[in-house]
Amino acid sequence: MRKEMKRFFAIVLCLILLLNLVACNKSDAEQKKPADFGTYGADFARKLAKTYPYRKAYSGTESEAGEMIKKEFEKLGYEVETQNFTSIYGSNSANYIVHIEGSGFVEPDGKGNVKDIRKKVVIGAHYDSAFAADEVPEGYTYDGISDNASGVGCLVTIAKEIKNYGDLGFDIDIVAFGAGGDDFRGASQYFDKLSSKEQKEIEVMFCIDSIYAGDKVYASAGLNSLSTEGKYHYKMRRKLYQTYDVAYDDMLSSKNGFNLYYNESNMKIDLNGDGSEDIYREVSFNKSDYSVFDSHDVPIVFFDSGDYFFESIDKVKETKNLNLQEFDGKIAGTLLDSSTVLDEVQNVDDKDILEIRINNVSYCIMGTLKKGSDFGMTHAEYEESLKKIDTTEETEASATTQK
């Protein structure tokens, strides 16, 4: 009887230990889930949209919204540069810039020597919205949640989480652009005020615009990547491909229910106005703040939402959802760009699509930065490579001595 009792308790003990082990493994797996940034970015996007819905460029409400973003950056521990500018008519707006200094990179010269280089990354989104208060008819709940409070949600998420990524080497500017509605004037002012050296140091510009309303989230390169020269074409899309690698390698689709799409419509059309037909693939007709950088031959990665898979450009729309067809499937820049409308339509099965998209787009951007520069390695990586060379030489020397 005692032996049976001992055997029974031994089995129970083993089961308890096994269950604890499974629970620990499950807990570890949950902790390692990518883009697990919580509700912070989506909460801030909704707060911005609902507090200042009518953020039209150069309005007093746009200014108040900008100050709200600045204070949020400051809460995260950053000093924020306010870059004031005016329209051609003298109206005021501002960019809000967080500067994060990196350690730089080491570039081999092919002759056994190395030199220190600086590389800059710009991560930007405009914070103004399409309408002023007196332009919204009664009965609409417009607040610009998608265009572009959603993009700002990514900016603050990245500002919060990037501290956990260690030294990325890059000098990083996180920029909330003002007056996007005025032909992206905030982005133009930011770029123009950089020195020539700083402009040349930009390795990539990430732009986020209206990622909530559309059926799918896309990442695109700039029209500057349409060159017929193969090497140039790849050079201008390299960061785009790295961004997709992050999404696929980290299995964001299966783990988080987040899909990052290529534009693969393959329509033939003159996209850049040079008189020859291009293939509508891996680029977007939707303009945003990235357009300024694109025109200066800076590689860009542009995130937006929509549905590009149609037979002709004139049929392309953001959504095929039958509940969102009042403006022929267009949401950004229309009166349907509303938290009230989109939260009801987009969020099914208790999933917060805004939270999922903000967190995963942010994760893709930071994961791309983690891959490093295309032109060199960080100082830490360089030192590690020297150690490996020394170890290899010692091993080879030891093997020669033994012979």
Enumerate the β-bridge partners of residue 114. Answer: 108
* Predicted pLDDT of residue 232: 66
Kindly tell me the burial class for residue 393, based on how many C-beta atoms sit within 10 Å of its own C-beta (0-12, 13-18, 19 or more): exposed
User: In this structure, are strands 202-208 and 300-306 parallel, antiparallel, or unpaired?
Assistant: parallel
Q: Which two tokens stand for residue 214?
A: 């559309």
Nearest residue to 192 via CA among 292, 120, 118, 58 = 292
Q: What domains sit in the chain, N to C, each tagged with a CATH number?
A: 32-402 (3.40.630.10)
pLDDT at 236: 93
**Per-residue pLDDT in tens (0 to 9) along the chain, 403 residues:** 445 544 544 444 444 445 555 454 544 444 578 999 999 999 999 999 999 999 999 999 999 999 999 999 999 999 999 999 999 999 999 999 999 999 999 987 767 788 899 999 999 999 999 999 999 999 999 999 999 999 999 999 999 999 999 889 999 999 999 999 999 999 999 999 999 999 999 999 999 999 999 999 999 999 999 876 656 678 899 999 999 999 999 999 999 999 999 998 888 888 888 888 888 889 998 999 999 999 999 999 999 999 998 888 888 899 999 999 999 999 999 999 999 999 999 987 789 999 999 999 999 999 999 999 999 988 888 877 776 665 655 555 555 555 5
- Rounded CA-CA distance 293/304 in Å is 17
* Cα(55)–Cα(179) distance, integer angstroms: 9
Closest by alpha carbon to 154, among 44, 61, 319, 260? 44
**Total-model pTM:** 0.89
What gap in Å lies between CA 246 and CA 371, rounded to an integer? Answer: 9
Instruction: Answer for the pair 341, 141: CB distance below 8 angstroms, yes or no.
Output: yes
The pair of structure tokens assigned to 149 is: 């409070």
Q: What is the pLDDT of residue 31?
A: 58
Contact present, 217 and 357 (Cβ < 8 Å): yes
Residue 155 pLDDT:
98
Per-residue HEC secondary structure of the chain comes to CHHHHHHHHHHHHHHHHHHHHHHHHHHHHHHCCCCCCCCHHHHHHHHHHHHCCCCECCCHHHHHHHHHHHHHHHHCCCCEEEEEEECCCCCEEEEEEEEECCCCEEEECCCCCEEEECCEEEEEEECCECCCHHHCCCCCCCCCHHHHHHHHHHHHHHHHHHHHHCCCCCEEEEEEECCCCCCCHHHHHHHHCCCHHHHHHEEEEEEECCCCCCCEEEEEECHHHCCCCHHHHHHHHHHHHHHHHHHHHCCHHHHHCCCEECCCCCEEECCCCCCCCEEECCECCCCCCHHHHHCCCCCEEEEEEEECCCCCHHHCECCCCHHHCCCCCCCCCCCCCCHHHHHHHHCCCCCCHHHHHHHHHHHHHHHHHHCCCCCCEEHHHHHHHHHHHHHHHHHHHHHHHHC
* Residue 315 CB coordination number (10 Å): 11
Six token digits for residue 40: 């912070």
β-pair partners for 115: 107
